[in-house]
Amino acid sequence: MALPIWLTWALVRRVIIVVGLIFVGYYLVTFGQVVMTADDDDRRTSDAIIVLGAAQFDGRPSNVFAARLDHAFALWSQDVAPRIVVTGGKQPGDRFTEAQAGFTYLRDKGVPEGDLLLEVDSHNSVESLQASALVLEQRGLNRVTLVSDPFHSLRVKLIAEEVRLDAVTSPTRTSPIEGFDVWKRYASEALRVSVGRIFGFGRSVRVGELVPGLAILGAFGGGVIGNTAGSGPVIEGSSPSPRAPKRRRVRARWRRIRPRRLVA
């Protein structure tokens, strides 16, 4: 016996409400985990320190990037690891990659060039850690300490686990991002972690790049799901994204999913 239409719609509404409440609860738990993980500093003796890239301006690290590099330098000086991997590509029109800017900055602070590795093709955290994991594995290295901003810690640690790195986090404590901007980042990171845990972070990158509507969901707090490149204070970018036709940009970024090289 078929249910009346009004009863069918009532059941559908209830299911939608229940599913919505479950997702909200899941998101709030994840938000709390992002906030709590931001307070952790689990530095330990490692094979390498990996610095997640941030904005650079014609070869000069932004204040956000410089804070990360300074912390990586301090860890290296304390013999946490004998080498530093600096990550980050560039946008069309840039003369320098984020990694090149970071390399020059650390070299000028006294890190020997032989202790520095550069990952120069990535455009988001997943690509950075995929490429770093591949090259470190080729050298028989796996234990890493990840350096980024505190609100970024949980996501980069989970991504590192996904690419089979034995990773801990040691975030900078001198980032210029503060106040309400930090809480916006927490909210954005919680959404990205929520999605990444369900679908996988690598898969979320591809979905976020191919489905613009999903990318909008992650825009609150800067950046988008699967692509954290941006401009100004937005972390992990190098300069404003080009205003190329959307279809061409999506196809090009799909081809860049797997970074191609990391150089010494």
Rounded to two decimals, the pTM is 0.78
pLDDT reported for residue 231: 29
Q: Which amino acid is at 217?
A: L
pLDDT band with cut points at 50, 70 and 90 for residue 214: low
**Which is more confidently placed, 245 or 138?**
138
Domain 38-263: give its CATH architecture. Answer: 3-Layer(aba) Sandwich (3.40)
Cα 24 from chain centroid? 23
| Average pLDDT over every residue of 122-145 | 93
pLDDT reported for residue 217: 47
pLDDT band with cut points at 50, 70 and 90 for residue 186: very high
Helix 201-210 × helix 153-162 angle, to 10°: 110
Q: How high is the mean pLDDT of the chain?
A: 81
Residue spans per domain, the chain: 38-263
Q: Count of residues for the chain?
A: 264
Is the pLDDT at 225 greater than 70, yes or no?
no
Helical H segments across the chain, by residue range: 5-38, 63-77, 98-109, 125-138, 153-162, 180-199, 201-210, 212-217, 246-255
Query: Euclidean distance between the first and final Cα of the chain, in Å?
Result: 71
